[in-house]
Every structure is written in structure tokens, then in C-alpha cells.
């Protein structure tokens, strides 16, 4: 049975995962890192953390001529 995160637990899980990474990570990486499928409410939480300054969103290249956004710790 899958544990359902409260809003605060989701916030802590996302921030905690990103803070442990050495380089910026994608939204998909974050979702996989916290054991969840990519979904609108998780994306909303990531963007809420960006708006609050807790995460920094920056573009980076995947090496396949594709530009995506990565997230790293802000505060």
C-alpha cells in the first residue's frame, strides 16, 4: 500500500531529495526520487518551492539538443 503524503510531507520530500543532489535535477527525476509518478500536484509543489525561493529553476541541456529545466536548492 502506497503512503500518501500530506502537503507538508510532500514539500519535505521534494526539498530533501533536491538538497541531496550534486547537480540540478529534472521534475521527472524528483518524482522518481521520492517514489512517485509525475503528476500535477507534485509539479505544483515543485513550482511553489521555486516561487518561495527554496528551489532554483534553471535551464540545462540534456546533450540531445533538448533544453529542459533543472532544480537545485535555493535557500
Give the three cell numbers for residue 8. 507538508
Burial of 34 (0-12, 13-18, 19+ CB in 10 A): middle
pLDDT reading at 13 higher than 90: yes
What is the model's pLDDT at position 22? 92
What is the model's pLDDT at position 56? 97
How many whole angstroms separate alpha carbon 37 and alpha carbon 43? 11
Residues 29-55: tens digit of each pLDDT: 999 999 999 999 999 999 999 999 999
CB-based contacts of 16, cutoff 8 Å, min separation 6: none
Amino acid at each position: 500500500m502506497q503512503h500518501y503524503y500530506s502537503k507538508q510531507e510532500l514539500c519535505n520530500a521534494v526539498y530533501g531529495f533536491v538538497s541531496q543532489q550534486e547537480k540540478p535535477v529534472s521534475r521527472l527525476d524528483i518524482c522518481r526520487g521520492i517514489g512517485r509518478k509525475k503528476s500535477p500536484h507534485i509539479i505544483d509543489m515543485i513550482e511553489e518551492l521555486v516561487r518561495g525561493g527554496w528551489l532554483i529553476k534553471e535551464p540545462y541541456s540534456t546533450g540531445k539538443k533538448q533544453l529542459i529545466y533543472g532544480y537545485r536548492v535555493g535557500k
